[in-house]
């Protein structure tokens, strides 16, 4: 029985399901029939007799860590006039039918040849239903709608909820098995895909075949899509800093360049002025060069930063100045041609920048003693830019500031991506290797050690020195990389004083998690920390990261 048809894209075909199932809960009764670029002339409810070659397709290629999808290729079919009945009833996915435990332990090896235990592990449960009709009812959105017309829901609303309706990812063992991606097989012109935010609902029944793809794993391909319930999620605003408070923020502006849409600059500026209350210092990540993704040898980014600071003034904010160092062409990873880098924005009415010549793409900044106090040999300067730890990665930028007579050292960071970029990325959480290998992690640990060593050099001269290390560290609060940053008490995470389920500013595959951090030295006292939710939980976003801000009262 045909249960769903995909008649768009380059992987067209249809799902079919045996209307007379066996009694083995570990075996699926459904399968995908692949027809390539050719739309199959079938419809849900058609009864067919089909022959073809049984194959295993692995999304992402044979060398990827993804699980395979059983499918028929080279198929031929004809109507089966003897078949009777409607579509097979869908299997309901909810808190009672999806196990809490995520995957069997295989010591890092493949689970594909293991006996399925669908009553014990979520991945086994989903695998046992691959290609079959499944349904969810009255579910909450935990990952917002994307431009690819997909979103994430949870089938268990009690599983690690955040205060704003998401699902919190708090450890490597907290994968959150109830997460499920939903996309649509319905024509978009007659059934527009909902623009849903985290915390919204899909009311009623959503049902369709269960598929697997390389962008998140198991996916409900909806032939019936529940109604969108807008729960009114609002973008947050942080309070303004007091006169005697230093506010330092971090914001990943996601591949910003003059080639970006004007609305993106306007939205980022509004976020900095209205929602972040015009921080005194901002570490910004993913600032591209002035030609954006065009790979033409350009490395300067003054045009990008001038456009952003002009928009900030137009939005009623301060006349920010900026500091940055141009990278070597093509050496720092990221979008090809973009030459992303980190930079400082700062309000000269509130803080001053101590500029010292000598900083360039390849020269390491040193911490020196001057008049009994730590000082940078170059400001701004890059930390150990030629160390192998920064291969195909962004080099940290250190700068020396002053606030109300107090010297402040700030380090802007953008550690190597989990996706790997130019290097090897991590294995997928939902893949065949369990537990998945974190191939990118050793590089971030080495990067963290270098930043930690820099902070220790500052504190050797003045143990009460005020240091802030901010940015997109591409890792979690519980990760070895963050442990290496905090080693020896050189830095602490003021985020830790937030309630545990509020420590997030990024949403990936329906999990609310933390990649961006502001860490402070003991000399900063007990800062106040705020993650300002204005992007990651929303379908309409100016960046895929939420900014964070820390407010410090120097003593």
Render 176-188 in DSSP notation, one character per residue: -TTEEEEEE-S-T
Which pLDDT band holds residue 403 (cuts at 50, 70, 90)? very high
Query: Bridge-partner residues for 410, per DSSP?
Result: 399, 468
Q: What percent of the chain has pLDDT over 90?
A: 97
Residue that is written with structure tokens 């419809």 in the block = 43
Report the half-sphere exposure of 223 (CA within 13 A, side-chain side).
21
- Which strands make up the sheet holding 30-36, listed edge to edge? 2-6, 12-17, 30-36, 69-79, 48-57
> For residue 176, what pLDDT is reported?
98
Indicate whether 503 pLDDT > 70: yes
Domain 246-552 superfamily per CATH: Endonuclease/exonuclease/phosphatase (3.60.10.10)
The stretches of 74-191 forming alpha helices (DSSP H) are 122-128
The per-residue pLDDT for 84 is 66
Phi-psi region of 67 (alpha: psi -120 to 50; beta: other; left: phi over 0): beta
pLDDT tens for 40-81 read 999 999 999 999 999 999 999 998 999 999 999 999 999 987
Cα distance between residue 1 and residue 85, in whole Å: 9
Using an 8 Å Cβ cutoff, are 155 and 461 in contact? no
Give the whole-angstrom CA distance, residue 311 versus residue 104.
51
**pLDDT tens column, 140-154:** 999 999 999 999 999
Is the distance from CB of 284 to CB of 309 less than 8 angstroms?
Answer: no
Which ranges constitute the DSSP H helices of 142-195? Answer: none
CB 110 within 8 A of CB 432: yes
Residue 59 host element (H or E): none
Phi/psi-derived region of residue 361, left when phi > 0, alpha when psi is between -120 and 50, beta in every other case: alpha
Average pLDDT score over residue span 91-119: 97
In sequence order, what DSSP letters do the residues of 467-518 get, joined into one string?
A: EEEEEE-SS-TTSHHHHHHHGGGS-B-GGGGS-GGG---EEETTEEE--EEE
Give the model's pLDDT for residue 367.
98
Task: Tally the residues of the chain.
Answer: 555
Query: Long-range contacts made by residues 236-243, C-beta under 8 angstroms, separation at least 24?
Result: 236/275, 236/532, 236/533, 236/534, 237/274, 237/275, 237/277, 237/532, 238/275, 238/276, 238/277, 238/530, 238/532, 238/549, 239/277, 240/277, 240/278, 241/277, 241/279, 241/280, 241/551, 242/551
Q: Is 499 in contact with 529 (CB distance < 8 Å)? A: no
Average pLDDT, integer, range 206-216: 97
List, as one string, the DSSP characters of 233-276. Answer: -----PPPPPTT-EEEEEEEEEEE-TTS-HHHHHHHHHIIIIIS
Largest CA distance in the chain: 94
Assess whether pLDDT exceeds 90 at residue 487.
yes
Q: What is the pLDDT, as a whole number, of residue 81?
A: 76
pLDDT at 279 over 90: yes
**Chain mean position to CA 130:** 26
Structure tokens at 245: 């408070």
Does residue 544 contact residue 254 with C-beta atoms inside 8 Å?
yes
Angle between helices 302-314 and 262-270 (to 10 degrees): 60
As a whole number, mean pLDDT of residues 213-227 equals 97
d(CA 267, CA 252): 13
Half-sphere exposure of 410 (CA within 13 A, CB side): 36
Q: What would the mean pLDDT of 122-138 be, rounded to a whole number?
A: 98
| Mean of the per-residue pLDDT values of the chain | 97
Give yes or no for residue 85 having a pLDDT over 80: no
- Residue 83 vs residue 448, higher pLDDT: 448
Comparison of pLDDT for 313 and 113, the residue scoring more: 313
pTM above 0.75, yes or no: yes
Q: Kindly report the CA angle at 255 between 249 and 261, in degrees rounded to 5? A: 105
Pairwise CA distance, residues 98 & 96, whole Å: 6
Residue 82 has pLDDT above 80, yes or no: no
pLDDT at position 83:
66
The span from the CA of 507 to the CA of 217, in Å, is: 16
CB atoms within 10 A of CB 297: 11
pLDDT at 423: 86
**402 within 8 A of 280, measured Cβ to Cβ:** no
What confidence tier does 422 reach under pLDDT thresholds 50, 70, 90? confident
- pLDDT score at 277: 98
**Which segments of the chain belong to CATH 3.60.10.10?**
246-552
Which pLDDT band holds residue 301 (cuts at 50, 70, 90)?
A: very high
Cβ(322)–Cβ(309) below 8 Å: yes
Mean pLDDT of 200-218: 98
In the beta sheet, which residues pair with residue 229?
201
- The vertex-451 CA angle with 547 and 329, nearest 5°, equals 75
């Amino acid at each position: 029985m045909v249960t769903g048809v995909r008649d768009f894209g380059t992987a067209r075909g249809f799902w079919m399901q045996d209307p007379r199932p066996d009694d083995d809960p570990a075996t699926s009764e459904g399968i995908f029939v692949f027809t390539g670029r050719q739309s199959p002339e079938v419809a849900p409810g058609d009864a067919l007799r089909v022959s073809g070659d049984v194959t295993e397709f692995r999304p992402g290629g044979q060398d990827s860590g993804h699980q395979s999808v059983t499918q028929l290729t080279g198929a031929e079919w004809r109507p089966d006039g003897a078949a009777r009945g409607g579509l097979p009833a869908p299997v309901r996915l909810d808190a009672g039918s999806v196990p809490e435990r995520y995957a069997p332990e295989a010591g890092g090896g493949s689970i594909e040849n293991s006996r399925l235990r669908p009553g014990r592990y979520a991945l086994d449960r989903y695998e046992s239903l691959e290609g079959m009709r499944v349904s969810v009812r009255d579910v909450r959105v935990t990952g917002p709608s994307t431009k690819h017309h997909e979103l994430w829901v949870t089938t268990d609303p009690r599983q690690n909820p955040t205060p704003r309706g998401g699902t919190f990812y708090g450890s490597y063992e907290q994968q959150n098995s109830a997460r499920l991606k939903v996309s649509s097989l319905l024509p978009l012109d007659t059934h527009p895909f909902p623009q849903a935010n985290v915390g919204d609902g899909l009311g009623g029944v959503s049902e369709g075949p269960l598929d697997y793809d390389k962008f998140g794993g198991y996916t409900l391909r909806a032939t019936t899509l529940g109604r969108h319930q807008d729960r009114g999620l609002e973008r947050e605003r942080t309070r303004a800093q007091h006169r005697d408070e230093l506010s330092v923020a971090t914001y990943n502006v996601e591949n910003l360049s003059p080639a970006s849409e004007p609305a993106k600059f306007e939205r980022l500026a509004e976020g900095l002025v209205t929602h972040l209350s015009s921080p005194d210092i901002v570490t910004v990540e993913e600032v591209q060069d002035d030609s954006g993704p065009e790979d033409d040898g350009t490395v300067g980014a003054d045009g990008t930063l001038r456009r952003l600071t002009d928009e900030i003034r137009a939005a009623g904010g301060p006349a920010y100045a900026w500091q940055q160092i141009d990278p070597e062409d093509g050496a720092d990873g990221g979008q090809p041609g973009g030459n992303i880098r980190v930079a400082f924005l700062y309000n000269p009415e509130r803080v001053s920048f101590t500029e010292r010549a000598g900083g360039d793409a390849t020269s390491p900044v040193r911490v020196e003693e001057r008049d009994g106090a730590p000082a940078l040999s170059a400001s701004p300067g890059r930390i150990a830019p030629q160390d192998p730890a920064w291969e195909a990665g962004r080099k940290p930028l250190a700068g020396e500031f002053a606030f109300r007579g107090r010297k402040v050292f700030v380090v802007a960071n953008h550690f190597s991506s989990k996706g790997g970029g130019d290097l090897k990325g991590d294995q997928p959480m939902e893949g065949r290797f369990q537990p998945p290998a974190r191939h990118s992690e050793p590089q971030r640990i080495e990067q963290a050690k270098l930043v930690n060593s820099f902070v220790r050099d500052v504190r050797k001269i003045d143990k009460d020195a005020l240091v802030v290390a901010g940015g997109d560290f591409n890792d979690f609060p519980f990760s070895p990389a963050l442990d290496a940053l905090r080693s020896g008490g050189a830095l602490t995470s003021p985020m830790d004083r937030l309630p545990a389920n509020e420590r997030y500013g990024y949403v990936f595959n329906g999990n609310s998690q933390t990649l961006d951090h502001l860490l402070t030295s003991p000399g900063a006292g007990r800062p106040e920390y705020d993650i300002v939710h204005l992007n990651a939980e929303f379908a309409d976003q100016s960046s895929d990261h939420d900014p964070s801000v820390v407010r410090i009262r120097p003593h």
